[in-house]
A and B are shown apart, each in its own frame.
Chain A
Amino acid sequence: MGAKGEYYPSKLIGKVLKIFCISNFVFDMVSFHRLLVVYPWTQRFFDSFGNLSSPSAILGNPKVKAHGKKVLTSFGDAIKNMDNLKITFAKLSELHCDKLHVDPENFKLLGNVMVIILATHFGKEFTPEVQAAWQKLVSAVAIALAHKYH
């Protein structure tokens, strides 16, 4: 992956963290919802979540919100451990492969959705450099989550 300095110039890490802290709440509420609406086949992993029959049903679904929050908390751990993503996500990777049987392509989709949400929410702050830093981060998280797949 390369050293932190090479991939994430330090001023960008600061911006990434600042945005993440502000956006935590935003992400909780909407990132999982958006994934399930924009890429409807992802709903297949959430049969037990109840009513996913429309965008507004998905938005109001408490299980979607709760799971979104869980995912985002985990993402927050990633940001604190950008040099060690494979280790940070090792157990989650095994879980998603062995128990949940999630196609790793979906991790990229969720990552892209998160970048889109940032774009909708942040105006001038969402500069090309910030977009680049986030795109690298979500790609790296997706790779780390796929790492234990077999």
Chain B
Amino acid sequence: MGHFTEEDKATITSLWGKVNVEDAGGETLGRLLVVYPWTQRFFDSFGNLSSASAIMGNPKVKAHGKKVLTSLGDAIKNLDDLKGTFAQLSELHCDKLHVDPENFRLLGNVLVCVLAHHFGKEFTPQVQAAYQKVVAGVANALAHKYH
């Protein structure tokens, strides 16, 4: 896992082209906070996270989700250099935000779920396999500068 074939890249960019980053971002981060509630601890300043509907409607969750997925979109343009792309974000998440890197894998799983939900039949096993590689690569890259 780690190496992206030309076919992987074509599959990944083709699907990503159809993703509404703002909507998917909010959906992904929101679902992370609902499905894995302990992740809410990193977002104390976000206001009301008291229920699933509060979380999914929270404007700060949506805005931050958009930020995260925009960053992922950059990664998709640089699949051969994820570690380089995420070096500064990795340092930030370790040194300033103190996020356990396991959470990157959880977010990756939730993103794959959101894509599956949105694309239905189009999200074939082959497409899923390509995206699992992306999220695993991104999680590793984000954990890379941890010390």
Contact = CB atoms under 8 A, between A and B. Distances in A.
Contacts of B124: 55
Contacts of B52: 127-129, 132
A135 B128 CA distance: 18
B15 interface: no
B42 interface: no
Interface string A23-41: 0000000000110011110
B116 interface: yes
Interface residues of A, number: 22
B103 to A, nearest CB: 14
Contacts of B31: 128, 131
Interface in B93-147: 109, 112-114, 116-117, 119-121, 123-126, 128-129, 132
A129 B120 contact: no
A45 B34 CA distance: 34
B113 A129 contact: no
B56 interface: yes
Nearest to A112: B109
A100 B116 CA distance: 31
B34 A128 contact: yes
A116 B121 contact: no
A119 B118 CA distance: 8
Interface in A99-126: 112, 115-117, 119-121, 123, 126
B35 interface: yes
B30 interface: yes
A135 B120 contact: no
Contacts of A115: 113
A73 B119 CA distance: 28
A3 B126 CA distance: 39
Contacts of A126: 117
Contacts of B35: 128, 131-132, 135
Indicate the member of A33, A37, A40, A116 with the most B CB atoms within 10 Å.
A116
B120 A120 contact: yes
A80 B55 CA distance: 31
A76 to B, nearest CB: 22
Interface of A: 33-34, 37-40, 55, 112, 115-117, 119-121, 123, 126-129, 131-132, 135
5 contacts: A37-B129, A120-B120, A128-B56, A131-B34, A131-B35
Given A112-B109, A116-B112, A120-B119, 7 more contacts: A37-B125, A37-B128, A37-B129, A55-B126, A123-B120, A128-B31, A129-B34
